[in-house]
Amino acid sequence: MSTPPAPELAGRRLVLGLSGGIACYKAADLARELVKAGATVQVVMTEGALQFVTALTMQALSGRPVVASTWDLREPNAMAHINLSREADAIVVAPATADFIARVAQGRADDLLSLLCVARPVERCPLLLAPAMNREMWAHPATGRNVAQVRADGAVVLGPAAGDQACGETGDGRMLEPAEIRDALVAFFQPKLLAGRRVLVTAGPTFEAIDPVRGITNHSSGKMGFAVARAAAEAGADVTLVAGPVHLPTPPGVRRIDVASACQMHAAVLPEAPRHDVFVATAAVADWRPAHVNEHKVKKDGRRGAPLFELTENPDILAEVARLPAAERPWCVGFAAESEDLVRHSREKLQRKGVPLIVGNLGPATFGRDDNALVLVDAEGETELPRADKLTLARALVAEIARRLPDGVRA
């Protein structure tokens, strides 16, 4: 059995600021999500926020008394703006209204939350803002200038999303969902081991059509490849994900290209590969496809046996990328999904494909599951990554890739 992963925000001390908008109702769930993820959450509310959700609610969810006034005398030195900002690993304002973003852009400090943002040690207490406002307010030129200014001053802006709004209109300006903000915080704190790198990942199975309704495929769920894409993005990389036919959400910040067959994946990957520094071939690509695709469904008529299909070999995507000229070739990582003799087959694949690293796993033991165990095979030997959830393994793999990459962006 795999060891349950540690809470992803364990040990983090967060100030969760609420400014006055209807999205405060989401902030209640966000506080709960952050606490579940292991963070210590100190809620700070503006006067406007208190019109939408009570301090009692936020105290119950965070487990700590809410602070709402600059003049709160519960602090021995009466300096909540200093004490809270010195203790925090980050200040997260969700919702951040148009008015609050304007205050931050101007450096105003006329309530506790804006005072905290100005008083924080910028070099060690980052500020993250999750905008929430009507679509016209988000589109207003003044808001655009203010958002550009807070970014220039070092704040991280999370979102906003598009969709239905409380006013009945639809468009940009919705606050991200609590789980999205939680995941953005988790990603923010990950080491940026691949900052400045471009990573291309393939994921999932391929589907090789026999006729309009049938085809050849495999049990790959795509979860490992999507986890690798997410981990690489968390590590600061610019990530492109080429995905076979799977039903998984795109990891935040990842550019996605959907394909179905091996030939389509080949056609998507080959032009992209020279533009990337690392290629991680996680996809379980079918080795063969039907030589001819029937125009209509092949019927069972009861008068003859099962139809025979001629198969032809699919292109070897990893090998072709590994054979690109040195100036165009990314640093290649292959995956080997085996059913036996994992290390031997992985080493044979390493030599056959001509790549620096093969990641071996037992396909029947991982397809469709949320956990896995990996063995990294290179010219020097083998390194085992023991069974864990796939995102934990993906982060460990990204760290190994970053450690092994040559100083230049090309192998």
Domain extents in the chain: 13-189, 198-404
Decide if 33 contacts 178 (C-beta within 8 A): yes
Of residues 80 and 114, the one with the higher pLDDT is 114
pLDDT bucket at 134, cuts 50 / 70 / 90: very high
Residues 215-241 have a mean pLDDT of 94
Q: Output the pLDDT for position 82.
A: 82
* Fold match between domain 13-189 and domain 198-404: yes
167 is catalytic: yes
Is 60 exceeded by the pLDDT of residue 31? yes
Of residues 299 and 186, the one with the higher pLDDT is 186
Of residues 36 and 348, the one with the higher pLDDT is 36
Residues 41-70 have a mean pLDDT of 96
pTM (2 d.p.): 0.87
Q: Output the pLDDT for position 342.
A: 79
Q: Output the pLDDT for position 339.
A: 67
| Average pLDDT of the chain, as a whole number | 91
CATH no., domain 13-189: 3.40.50.1950
Q: pLDDT over 70 for what percent of the chain?
A: 94
SS (H, E, C) the chain: CCCCCCCCCCCCEEEEEECCCCCHHHHHHHHHHHHHCCCEEEEEECCCHHHCCCHHHHHHHHCCCCECCCCCCCCCCCCHHHHHHHHCCEEEEEEECHHHHHHHHHCCCCCHHHHHHHHCCCCCCCEEEEECCCHHHHHCHHHHHHHHHHHHCCCEECCCEEEECCCCCEEEEECCCHHHHHHHHHHHHCCCCCCCCEEEEEECECCEECCCCCEECCCCCCHHHHHHHHHHHHCCCEEEEEECCCCCCCCCCCEEEECCCHHHHHHHHHHHHHHCCEEEECCECCCEEECCCCCCCCCCCCCCCCCCCCEEECCCHHHHHHCCCCCCCCEEEEEEEECCCHHHHHHHHHHHHCCCEEEEEEHHHHCCCCEEEEEEEECCEEEEEEEEEHHHHHHHHHHHHHHHCCCCCCC
Q: Of these residues, 24, 117, 125, 167, which one is catalytic? A: 167
Q: Could you tell me the fold of the domain covering 198-404?
A: Rossmann fold (3.40.50)
Enumerate residues 6+ apart whose C-beta is below 8 A from 288. 208, 216, 311, 312, 313, 314
Tens of pLDDT, residue by residue over 351-378, are 888 899 999 886 655 666 778 888 899 9
